[in-house]
A = this chain, B = another copy of it.
Amino acid sequence: MITPGFVAAEDRDAVTAMLRAQLAGLPARSPFYAGLFAVHGVDPAALVSLDDMRKLPFTDKQMLRDSQAAAPPLGLHAGVDMAEVIRVHASTGTTGKPSWVGVTRRDAEAWTEMVARAFMTMGARREDVVLHGAGLTLFVGGLPIRDALERIGCTMIPIGTGASEKAVQALDSLGVTALHATPSYVRYLAEYLRRLGRDPREFGISKIFVGGEPGGGEPAFRRHIEQEWGARVTEGLGNADMAPVLFAEPPGAGGMRFTGGRHVLVELIDPDGGEPVDPEPGVSGELVYTSVDRECCPLIRFRTRDRVLVTGLAEDGAPLIRCVGRTDDMLIVLGVNVFPTAVRDLVQTLHPRTNGVVQIVLPSPGPRVEPPLRVEVEYGEEPGDRERLRHEIEDLIRSRLTVRAAVTLVPPGSIERTEMKSRLTRVSG
């Protein structure tokens, strides 16, 4: 059964028809799916209702990587010829080698529509002047969000990353009302302003839209950003291979709701067994996406590795979610799952004794880590007794995350900052 709640009742017939049409045509235009369906003995024509989706095999990132290695540049799953592609994005992932995502004219239009709906949901309005502080090159969180903000009619200021002095010039003169960036860059820009002797609150920003990495949903981290800027934070969640933003948080909702309209079907599964999970408040699972009208990179039951928690239900019954972290980043300490973002959020609760910047040092690449978990933490402007602070953090991690940690306090600025996504772990043999 398709996970209920992520597709509106009135959309079921339409998306079922679109999915059937996509599946029917897929084997002919994509050798990847022809092969996959053959291996799994799947007859696309036999799919009658959305509940039949469970008969379709999962796909994952490694399969897309292999597909691109076998048929560069866009892979056996691409579905259209390069001539139909108007833009190429990339997701870099952990290997550093980009995997390419092509977008046709129709795909781009669908993205703009989806992302505009997501930003409207997060609170962006035509009258907003939005400083767009995310990478405007291959990153899917850059150009597609620019398109969406302009579609809404916001005044979009393309700053990108690595240009904080330009961001300050824009803040100083353009009447900026809203900021869009990764949570990492939002914090970085506040630190940058403080170093200039400026107070982030002086600029009168009222809305901060974050995405591109977890962080916006961590309570203490969010509270810190909101206090720094005197602004409300809402967050979005997307996927480089599927769409830049698919879930977005209505202000005050306490979670993100699906905003992908009729373009994408969403399932919640148990990441171990792959069984469907009902999106009831309190349950967690992995998001799985299926496109129904994608031209260049049609994805069927694509496992995102995004682990989410259902935090509640919206008035219309739509599930509200938070991203707990990516399975790729998850650590396993004596059988206990630990997301590095959870460590950061715990440390953030001790601000201003810490400044919230952390890095987990792994003796060897994860996910399995021998205890204690080695955590570097920057102390803050008012650390108080450092030995006591260190013990307090270790106690917090042990009591809340049930793993033993060894904390090292380091001076502010010791841990490398990034204007893109935070590196919450590093491997150091």
Are B162 and A105 in contact, CB atoms less than 8 angstroms apart?
no
Are A166 and B108 in contact, CB atoms less than 8 angstroms apart?
no
| Chain B proximity of A162: nearest CB distance (Å) | 7
- Which of A168-176, A250-258, A382-390 is the contact stretch? A168-176
Q: Please measure, in the bound complex, the distance between the C-alpha atom of A174 and the C-alpha atom of B90, giving whole angstroms.
A: 11
Are A88 and B157 in contact, CB atoms less than 8 angstroms apart?
yes
Kindly identify, within residues 317 to 376 of chain A, every residue whose CB is under 8 Å from any CB belonging to chain B: none
Q: How big is chain A's contact interface, by range? A: 35 or more
Are A153 and B72 in contact, CB atoms less than 8 angstroms apart?
no
B contact residues around A72 at 8 Å (CB): 173
Closest Cβ neighbor of A83 among chain B residues: B127
- Which of A43-51, A135-143, A406-414 is the contact stretch? A135-143
**Of B73, B86, B88, B126, which contacts A153 at CB under 8 A?**
B86
Q: Please measure, in the bound complex, the distance between the C-alpha atom of A98 and the C-alpha atom of B171, giving whole angstroms.
A: 12
B contact residues around A163 at 8 Å (CB): 137
Closest Cβ neighbor of A89 among chain B residues: B158
A159 in contact (CB, < 8 A): yes
* A174 with B88, Cβ < 8 A, contacts A105-B153, A160-B136, A160-B137 known: yes
Q: Please measure, in the bound complex, the distance between the C-alpha atom of A85 and the C-alpha atom of B175, giving whole angstroms.
A: 13
Q: Please measure, in the bound complex, the distance between the C-alpha atom of A90 and the C-alpha atom of B167, giving whole angstroms.
A: 12
Q: Please measure, in the bound complex, the distance between the C-alpha atom of A157 and the C-alpha atom of B139, giving whole angstroms.
A: 11
A2 in contact (CB, < 8 A): no
A294 in contact (CB, < 8 A): no
A87 in contact (CB, < 8 A): yes
**Of B83, B100, B156, B162, which contacts A87 at CB under 8 A?**
B156
Are A88 and B155 in contact, CB atoms less than 8 angstroms apart?
yes
Can you list, as one digit per residue, whether each of A160-194 has a CB less than 8 Å from chain B (1) or not (0)? 10110010011001110000000000000000000
B contact residues around A158 at 8 Å (CB): 87-89, 136-138, 142-143
B contact residues around A82 at 8 Å (CB): 129, 155, 175
Closest Cβ neighbor of A88 among chain B residues: B157
A150 in contact (CB, < 8 A): yes
B contact residues around A162 at 8 Å (CB): 162
Q: Please measure, in the bound complex, the distance between the C-alpha atom of A284 and the C-alpha atom of B49, giving whole angstroms.
A: 71
Q: Please measure, in the bound complex, the distance between the C-alpha atom of A27 and the C-alpha atom of B212, giving whole angstroms.
A: 46
Can you list, as one digit per residue, whether each of A76-109 has a CB less than 8 Å from chain B (1) or not (0)? 0000001101111110000001101010010010
Q: Please measure, in the bound complex, the distance between the C-alpha atom of A156 and the C-alpha atom of B137, giving whole angstroms.
A: 11
* A98 with B169, Cβ < 8 A, contacts A150-B86, A154-B86 known: yes
A146 in contact (CB, < 8 A): yes
| Chain B proximity of A295: nearest CB distance (Å) | 13
Q: Please measure, in the bound complex, the distance between the C-alpha atom of A162 and the C-alpha atom of B136, giving whole angstroms.
A: 12
Pairs across A and B, CB under 8 Å, 28 listed = A72-B173, A73-B173, A73-B174, A82-B129, A82-B175, A83-B126, A83-B127, A85-B155, A86-B156, A87-B150, A87-B156, A87-B157, A88-B155, A88-B158, A88-B170, A89-B158, A97-B169, A98-B169, A100-B173, A105-B150, A136-B136, A136-B137, A136-B142, A136-B143, A136-B158, A136-B160, A138-B158, A143-B146
Known contacts A87-B150, A89-B158, A136-B160, then 4 further A-B pairs from the complex at CB < 8 Å, ordered by chain A residue: A85-B155, A86-B153, A88-B158, A88-B174
